[in-house]
Amino acid sequence: MKQLLILFLTFAKVGVMTFGGGYAMLPILQREIVENKGWATEEELADYFAIGQCTPGVIAVNTATFIGRKRFGIAGGVVATLGVVFPSLIIISLLAGVITQFSELAWVKNAFAGVRVCVCVLIANAVWKLGKKSIVDKWTAGIFLVIAAAAILTDWSPVVFVLFAGVCGVVLQVLLRKGAAAK
């Protein structure tokens, strides 16, 4: 029970500090889950984000569910999910009644503009960290460049990119193994 409480509080901490959506959660998750708790590796976290992107629902909630499930089974998945959404539920409930009254104030608009810039930096930092672990050879660099170009130039669903990358990874491994076996 104590471990589930720690799981809930960890994800509540992640949830309360996440501004800007699931992608902004990545650096916070990386610090809390990978560095502080050791509940997942950076590679596993990247996998959870990829799967969370492909499955229905909010990426942050999906990722919390996967990590909680890995640690403590179904109960862990439920507790982690509740932990990550609980702060938002409380904060949104409190703000919903007053946000329209303040949203047109210049200082509120400027504050949100500053937060958006900060979120972009946090996301870029998380991409950099994950990229260093994920782009390990010319093949993974190629997959990265193709998907980056397609993401910039098209409005395709992220599911298409993840499926394409997965297929590329499998095909490359098969080809590389055949090439190694032929030698």
Q: Are 7 and 80 in contact (CB under 8 A)?
A: yes
> How many Cα atoms occupy the beta-carbon half-sphere of 90 within 13 Å?
8
With a cut of 90, say whether residue 29 has pLDDT above it: no
- C-alpha angle 152/129/23, rounded to 5°? 55
Q: What is the pLDDT of residue 147?
A: 94
Give the C-alpha separation, 38 to 64, whole Å: 14
Residue 156 phi/psi, 5-degree rounding, is -65, 155
If pLDDT is split at 50, 70 and 90, which confidence band does 158 have?
confident
Give the C-alpha separation, 52 to 62, whole Å: 5
> How many Cα atoms occupy the beta-carbon half-sphere of 52 within 13 Å?
22
Q: What is the pLDDT of residue 20?
A: 62
With a cut of 90, say whether residue 79 has pLDDT above it: yes
120-147 residue pLDDT tens: 887 888 788 888 888 989 999 999 999 9
Give the C-alpha separation, 175 to 180, whole Å: 9
If pLDDT is split at 50, 70 and 90, which confidence band does 21 have?
low
Q: What is the pLDDT of residue 19?
A: 65
Answer left, alpha or beta for residue 130, where phi above 0 means left and psi between -120 and 50 means alpha. Answer: alpha
